[in-house]
Amino acid sequence: MSYFKFLTQNLRWLAGGFLLSFFSSFGQTYFVALSTGPIRAAFDLTSGEYGTLYMVATLVSALALPFLGQIVDRYSVSAVSSFTILMLALACFVVAYAQSIWLLIAAMFGLRLFGQGMMSHVALTAMGKWYEENRGKAVSIASLGFSAGQALLPLAFVGLVSFLDWRLGWVVAGVVLVVVALPAIAALMRVERIPRGTASEPTVEKGRQWQRSEVLRDPLFWLTATGILAPPFIGTAIFFHQDHLLVQRGWTLELFAFGMVIMTVVSVISGLLAGAAVDRASAISMLPLFLLPLGAGCLSLALVSGPIALLIFMALLGISMGISLAIFGSLWPEAYGTRHLGSIRSFIMALMVLFSALGPGVMGWLIDAGVPLTTQFFMMGAYCLAAAALLAVSSVKFKRRLAVELF
């Protein structure tokens, strides 16, 4: 089925997933970082103090996500989405009106848990539960919201706070969530989609339906985790410490911004292509591929000192991001079934949030210890290539096990 035909037949659900991904931006690092300077000034924090505060809030949100995320298996997507949007809006309002460091920590916790965590989790879990034959396309289309949010919302926020106080900018963000996101997503997700194996027959659950406790005892899960946790660790670390990178290499902020545009465009294209490929083959088959571009990109930063290295890295990062979004939305239902998908995905999402918090901290500690960026990038690239080899082993073992379960 072509993307256009699939989109027209499933517009309401795909649009709901897209908007969930889009508005998750309010809790993503690239959006929160836009207020770093004003927040530090308002609360008299050093870079290290604010970085530690942000890391702690993210770590705590990662611990909470496995417990909260499983509600997707118990309640409707519309109900969970509405609750998540309201809580994210509340976190935006707390950022705007916080006068104490403790309220700021609570606000950051809310942004990370309900923005980066739950909004992303609900969007991809819904696509995984509602689609089977075209799951790759569904995940790819819904995931376009991440790229659109990254491209549009930071620009809108910067333009807004250029003539408004930064606190009012966060008030506007909260109002947009309540007035725009909440009614739109609730209306789109109000009708649950019944997944279908053919044009006329509902899908019957196939194979073993794993519970989360069983997944956590599965060696294949942890072998796969060695690879899937690399992008959030590496990508967040480099974005968070972009100022240090630009100073060390003599690059401009404009170059970095241009690289972000390249990354966004490439991630959209690669995500759509990967989504179609997942439907033709499977996410498990494509598992060994997604880390190779990121590994090559890190090595380009290590081996090339000119500005072209940054653009190459951003393009290759975009390829890995696009492929990974298509794969991760389909991998877990393929490997472990859909019955307990919300519970399983919430733990995986928590791990990704955890590593997105550790990345900036570890890279910052290495910088303070005097480890050159070239060495760090080489280590990142080498790890990605080694992890890709492990994912190839994981892919083969998953296929063998599924063949036995389905038989």
Region 252-266: mean pLDDT is: 82
> What pLDDT was estimated at residue 293?
95
Cβ 153 vs Cβ 29: under 8 Å: no
Q: Which residue has the tokens 């990178």?
A: 245
pLDDT bracket for residue 200 (50, 70, 90):
very low
* Dihedral class, residue 250 (left if φ above 0, else alpha if ψ from -120 to 50, else beta): left
Number of compact structural domains in the chain: 2
Residues 247 and 347 in one domain: yes
Task: Flag whether 160 is in a domain.
Answer: yes
Does residue 47 sit within a domain?
A: yes
- Classify 176 as helix, strand or coil: helix
The answer on 393 and 245 residing in a single domain is yes
Token pair recorded at residue 229? 């946790």
How many CB atoms are closer than 10 A to CB 49? 13
Whether the Cβ atoms of residue 377 and residue 298 lie closer than 8 Å to each other: yes
pLDDT the model gives residue 91: 97
Tokens of 331: 């991998």
Interacting residues of 367 by C-beta distance below 8 A, sequence separation 6+: 241, 244, 373
What is the reported pLDDT for 320?
Answer: 92
Domain boundary among 194, 225, 244: 194
**Spatial CB neighbours of 48, under 8 Å, sequence gap ≥ 6:** 364
Residue 56 and residue 33 share a domain: yes
At residue 198, the pLDDT reads: 41
Q: Do the beta carbons of residue 376 and residue 363 sit within 8 Å?
A: yes
- Which 3 state secondary structure label does DSSP give 339? coil
The answer to whether 137 and 2 have CB atoms below 8 angstroms apart is no
Residue 52: closest CA among 381, 382, 357:
357
Per-residue confidence (pLDDT) for residue 8, from 0 to 100 = 80
Do 184 and 123 belong together in one domain? yes
Is residue 380, in this structure, part of any structural domain at all?
A: yes
Same domain, 172 and 293: no
The amino acid sitting at 296 is A
Instruction: Select from 166, 194, 222 the last residue of a domain.
Output: 194
Q: Identify the weakest region by mean pLDDT among 16-30, 87-101, 316-330.
A: 316-330
Indicate whether 99 and 164 sit together in one domain: yes
Residue 196 has pLDDT above 60, yes or no: no
| Higher-scoring residue by pLDDT: 44, 349 | 44
Name the range with the highest mean pLDDT among 67-71, 241-245, 293-297: 293-297
Are residues 184 and 267 both part of a single domain? Answer: no
> What mean pLDDT is predicted for residues 298-321?
92
> Which carries the bigger pLDDT value, residue 203 or residue 265?
265
The answer to whether residues 245 and 394 belong to one domain is: yes
If asked whether residues 132 and 162 sit together in one domain, one would say yes
Q: Please answer whether residues 359 and 232 qualify as being in contact, where contact means their C-beta atoms are separated by less than 8 angstroms.
A: yes
- Does one domain contain both 179 and 228? no
Averaged pLDDT, 215-220: 89
Q: Which two tokens stand for residue 68?
A: 């909260």
Residue 201 placed within a domain: no
Task: Confirm whether 350 is domain-assigned.
Answer: yes
8 Å CB contact between 65 and 350 = yes
What whole-number percentage of the chain has pLDDT above 90? 33
Element (H, E) at 242: helix 242-249
306 Ramachandran zone, left/alpha/beta (phi>0; psi -120 to 50): beta
Residue 197 has pLDDT above 50, yes or no: no
Categorize the per-residue pLDDT at 179 as very low, low, confident or very high, splitting at 50, 70 and 90: very high
Asked if residue 199 belongs to a domain, the reply is no
Give pLDDT, residue 366: 86
In a domain, 225, yes or no: yes
Mean pLDDT value across the chain: 85
Domain assignment of residue 217, given as a range: 207-407
Provide mean pLDDT across the span 198-226.
74
Residues 240 and 185 in one domain: no
Domain final residue, candidates 194, 223, 239: 194
- CB within 8 A of 251, min separation 6: which ones? 245, 307, 310
Distance CA 72, CA 125 (A): 8
Q: Write down the pTM of the prediction.
A: 0.75
User: Among candidates 180, 161, 34, 173, which has minimal Cα distance to 110?
Assistant: 173
Residues 312-328, mean pLDDT to the nearest whole number: 88
In this predicted structure, which of 194-198, 310-314, 318-322, 392-396 has the lowest mean pLDDT? 194-198
Domain CATH code at residue 56: 1.20.1250.20
**Residue 360: what residue type?**
P
Question: Is residue 386 one of the residues assigned to a domain?
Answer: yes
Same domain for 174 and 211, yes or no, is: no
pLDDT class of 168 with cuts at 50, 70, 90: very high
pLDDT average, residue stretch 192-203: 53
